[in-house]
Structure 1
């Protein structure tokens, strides 16, 4: 393709002459009583529009020559190849002509010498030239590193879509889709392939969909709310700095606010802070690291110190924490830690938790995950998956905790994956938009018509991309590199063995169970 810009003054003069020629032809036909030449009228309209664009500086004119060299091993094969090229060009309304008696000039013109010996050119405007530029590709340009994961097949080019989230500016990702679009399937597929690369994966699973993945890969499955499973939020992590006790006390305050279901009042914060530190002191734990290995206090100890604080705010908080100490929710929160979340894959299942305390369970699980992620003595690539993150985002304290995790994960060689079907609510809050902005990898699967406007505006989608997301099949989506600008429409693919592990289709799960049980 040889492109030669036409100087604006020359282009304006030629357009003026062309307009005059077309106008005079139209007037002559009208005076002679002949029928109007609609092709000439369309050409005159196009020329007038182009002249207006040039006058405003919105576009330019170019002389463009497009040449194609066809290669073959012999004359017969060459003839067949030429016929195929001309037939393909004709299907695109292009007239391809061979360079008869000028084969040498045609060949040198198609070499990277910058010399056009044929000079068979047409005039293009800026828009037409941009549409015909041959170097645009639907495939990703981002190179895949050592942790690159196969996402699927490119819908436009049938090439593979391989993406390395740990090679981006940050390692976070957000997955948005309507219910049934395959967001959990895709997330489990990515997690499984991350395990292939030695990435440690932790999952917050609200519907117990990751159990088969954990059992197949030898991971740990922790059912929060199940009998015998308890996490003590007062446990002090080891080897995490001199301010470990202070940070643990601050987290306990965040957890209490989530248990209360509302932000703490300014008058209640100092009362709660004193009670937390008093509970630690009663167990012989203070700012000296040598005391941190002693048994940590329990939630009941905090309630006791709040009750004897002789402060109305403390007594009110103690009364509202009773269900978590001696009431219906004591199973998870009121005992010493019974299960350590260790392993290459740890799944925190929330299905057995009552709906009223699921957000608290998510916050507690995230804290357990963060202890591992922030441990400077154990640095390795990690992936943290929060499925159905809207449950945490609807609580102010939970949303802030998730935001802090998204901001700090990269410093600890970790990536956060936020998965939600409630795109409108996520994008409606400032913290939700901040989480999206801090995600260099953005996965958009099929969207609901009610949410496509908010999603399209938040991610800068074109009309074609919006139409694709509205009509995408299950497992099809759009990968957006938030910081690199790379985009690719893909269809997630899995092997039969992977599909058996990650599917959550009830009919398929029933067939698998019947197959394992055998005939009666």
Structure 2
């Protein structure tokens, strides 16, 4: 709910928003803003052709991205890469582009043509340099899954929708593959690269928000790439944020600490009362002061509710400045953010019966909700569902 509020405000301030989600948390907001909601499925997988670049676009950053991509497929999230293997893949990618732009490869740039080149060239490099201990059979076997005829052949060989660069609010929903150890980190990487391209091309402010999917790439193999992503974003008036519901995810990983926490100037924390007895570790890793901690433990604890609608509080630190804020939204915002199935279904009933836009349905729904005098959103939603139609309630005064 809080992150819906954050990205809505960023979007209203002219920021391009790209989100990676694993739970339909932003479907309502995306529809309300007229954004692009891309949900991964076997029938419509998220695809791109990261190898298709111009000669001018070849630089050390792009080579490193493609190298990380290949190593991720080859070694997996928990794999160990030797310096020789790292250099071998990097050299192969460089030679692939050199061969293409000098006319030695006539096939289009894609993972397919790279695979064809690599299968032939890697054994030659190994022989020329008398390299030992490189399992080319395993490399070919792992990569072939993304090659022509493989189960993921479209993932790295088909162009992504070019209109995405003009979209100002994009949500990639990849819940369908969150348990796929091979595909999940690869698709997350693909989306991050889409953001990097948007980041370089567009002049306004940009933000990439990665929900729980960031865990898939918080590995030793990807640590340097995550650092690069954060540092590069700063150069292009962009920012990167990771979101988790479990504080242990953040404090339990050296990779996260080095690659994410140390490069994040803004920290947002919700209620931490259940961690109070063991907060010292969190305090040290996040660099919180004693004053910060005192503020954090006032979250949702103060007698400050009189004269206000329902709200929850959040601690936000920006640089060295920190405060606790109330997240207090209108009924219209609540119905835009909600993930409660009963509430979403009640809103769909309004939209279908009235034959109107998503925004108009929310406005009409909330007008009836306000007029009903019912405070609890779930209670009103159940009343709508029980009635089975738009309530069209008079004002509370008329009712009385």
**Does TM-score exceed 0.5, indicating one fold?**
yes
Equivalence map 1:105-124=2 (5 Å): none
Q: Does 1:218 align with 2:34?
A: yes
SS of the residue aligned with 1:416? strand
1:361-414, CA deviations, whole angstroms, 9 ceiling, x for partnerless residues? 111110110111123xx3111122111254245322333322222223222111
Q: Report the CA distance shift for 1:456/1:508 in structure 2 as closer, same or farther (over 3 A).
A: farther
Q: Tell me how far apart the structure 2 counterparts of residues 392 and 470 of structure 1 sit (CA, whole Å).
A: 32
Equivalent residue number for residue 150 of structure 1: none
For residue 245 of structure 2, the aligned residue among 421, 425, 433 is 421
Q: Report the CA distance shift for 1:233/1:417 in structure 2 as closer, same or farther (over 3 A).
A: same
For residue 304 of structure 1, the aligned residue among 101, 107, 116 is 116
Equivalent residue number for residue 460 of structure 1: 289
Equivalent residue number for residue 437 of structure 1: 262
1:263-283, CA deviations, whole angstroms, 9 ceiling, x for partnerless residues? 43222233323432344355x
Q: CA deviation at 1:296?
A: 4.9
Q: Does 1:478 align with 2:315?
A: yes
Larger Rg: 1
Q: Tell me how far apart the structure 2 counterparts of residues 363 and 420 of structure 1 sit (CA, whole Å).
A: 18
Equivalence map 1:58-69=2 (5 Å): none
For residue 332 of structure 1, the aligned residue among 134, 141, 155 is 155
The count of aligned residue pairs is 322
Q: Tell me how far apart the structure 2 counterparts of residues 392 and 217 of structure 1 sit (CA, whole Å).
A: 28
Q: Tell me how far apart the structure 1 counterparts of residues 218 and 27 of structure 2 sit (CA, whole Å).
A: 26
**Residues 299 and 324, structure 2, Cα contact 8 Å, conserved in 1:** no
Q: So what's the TM-score if we normalise by structure 1?
A: 0.55
Q: Report the CA distance shift for 1:449/1:407 in structure 2 as closer, same or farther (over 3 A).
A: same
Q: CA deviation at 1:466?
A: 5.0
Q: Does 1:397 align with 2:221?
A: yes
Q: Report the CA distance shift for 1:388/1:373 in structure 2 as closer, same or farther (over 3 A).
A: same
Q: Tell me how far apart the structure 1 counterparts of residues 227 and 246 of structure 2 sit (CA, whole Å).
A: 17
Q: Report the CA distance shift for 1:384/1:253 in structure 2 as closer, same or farther (over 3 A).
A: same
Q: Report the CA distance shift for 1:448/1:394 in structure 2 as closer, same or farther (over 3 A).
A: farther
1:49-84, CA deviations, whole angstroms, 9 ceiling, x for partnerless residues? xxxxxxxxxxxxxxxxxxxxxxxxxxxxxxxxxxxx
- Gap runs ≥5 in structure 2: 127-133, 303-309, 354-387, 390-400
Q: Tell me how far apart the structure 1 counterparts of residues 229 and 270 of structure 2 sit (CA, whole Å).
A: 24
Q: Tell me how far apart the structure 1 counterparts of residues 59 and 342 of structure 2 sit (CA, whole Å).
A: 50
For residue 276 of structure 1, the aligned residue among 77, 84, 93 is 93
Equivalence map 1:23-42=2 (5 Å): none
SS of the residue aligned with 1:227? coil
Q: CA RMSD in A?
A: 3.1
**Residues 22 and 175, structure 2, Cα contact 8 Å, conserved in 1:** yes
Q: CA deviation at 1:227?
A: 3.0
1:21-54, CA deviations, whole angstroms, 9 ceiling, x for partnerless residues? xxxxxxxxxxxxxxxxxxxxxxxxxxxxxxxxxx
1:467-514, CA deviations, whole angstroms, 9 ceiling, x for partnerless residues? 335969984221122x2x322222212222222222222332232233
For residue 265 of structure 1, the aligned residue among 78, 82, 90 is 82
For residue 493 of structure 1, the aligned residue among 328, 331, 338 is 328
Q: Tell me how far apart the structure 2 counterparts of residues 302 and 392 of structure 1 sit (CA, whole Å).
A: 25
**Residues 26 and 337, structure 2, Cα contact 8 Å, conserved in 1:** yes
Q: So what's the TM-score if we normalise by structure 2?
A: 0.70
Q: Tell me how far apart the structure 1 counterparts of residues 220 and 11 of structure 2 sit (CA, whole Å).
A: 32
Q: Does 1:230 align with 2:47?
A: yes
Q: Tell me how far apart the structure 1 counterparts of residues 113 and 191 of structure 2 sit (CA, whole Å).
A: 21
Q: CA deviation at 1:338?
A: 3.7
Equivalent residue number for residue 359 of structure 2: none
Q: CA deviation at 1:234?
A: 0.8
**Residues 234 and 297, structure 1, Cα contact 8 Å, conserved in 2:** yes
